[in-house]
Amino acid sequence: MRRWKPHERRQLRAWQLKRFRELSRRLNEGESLTVEEKIYFAKAFDRIGNGESADLVFRIKRGPGDKARDDTQKKKISQIFQLVATAILPKATANDSASSRFFGVGMTLEQAFEWVSPRASELFGNESPSAYGPEYLKKLWYDPQYAHMKSPFRSAQDLDSPFEFYELPQIADLE
């Protein structure tokens, strides 16, 4: 069995929990399982029936040192970095067409950290205004563990996304 690194384990756990909430919603609305889901659950339930821990089979158990607070913190940082990534996008000019690209505020990265810092503390209600200070945000921005969060665009499929999971409809479902 593969040994997961701590940050991979946390990301996989968060992903699984989102998928289970979405599966619950779909089943409550009367939808049925896909063939792939049936195969996945049949194998998982067989392993559980043979004595394996459901937490380990579904990879939802927290590992040593993993805390619920860590998951919440990652979601907060994801939202903050989305604001930073949007702020550093170039401003629209008179020659730009609205459909050709996305526009931001045109800030430097340093300006974006300064701008978002008080908003982050406000948004997340920290008792300490320096909890999301510009230096702390800069440190996280350059940390490889947070590299996947440096986009102005977010979806539920992103790791550490603050949005609930959903599956995109298949092309056949749209016709």
Cβ atoms of residues 117 and 157 within 8 Å: no
Q: Looking at residue 65, what is its pLDDT?
A: 66
Cβ atoms of residues 12 and 59 within 8 Å: yes
- The b-or-e profile of 99-130 (16+ CB within 10 A means b, else e) is eeeeebeebebeebbebbbeebbeebeeeeee
Q: Looking at residue 173, what is its pLDDT?
A: 47
Q: Looking at residue 101, what is its pLDDT?
A: 58
Q: Looking at residue 112, what is its pLDDT?
A: 92
Nearest CA-CA partner of 137 in 150, 152, 154, 127: 150
Cα(105)–Cα(87) distance, rounded to whole angstroms? 5
Cα(125)–Cα(111) distance, rounded to whole angstroms? 22
Q: Looking at residue 124, what is its pLDDT?
A: 73
Tens-binned pLDDT, residue by residue, of the chain (175 aa): 556 566 666 667 777 777 788 888 888 889 888 888 888 888 888 888 888 888 877 777 766 666 666 667 777 888 888 889 888 988 766 665 555 556 677 889 999 999 988 888 777 776 565 678 899 889 999 988 888 888 887 776 666 666 655 555 555 544 4
Cα(107)–Cα(117) distance, rounded to whole angstroms? 14
- CA-to-CA dists, residue 15 to 10, 18, 79, 141, 157, angstroms: 9, 5, 17, 22, 8
Cβ atoms of residues 74 and 160 within 8 Å: yes
Q: Looking at residue 174, what is its pLDDT?
A: 46
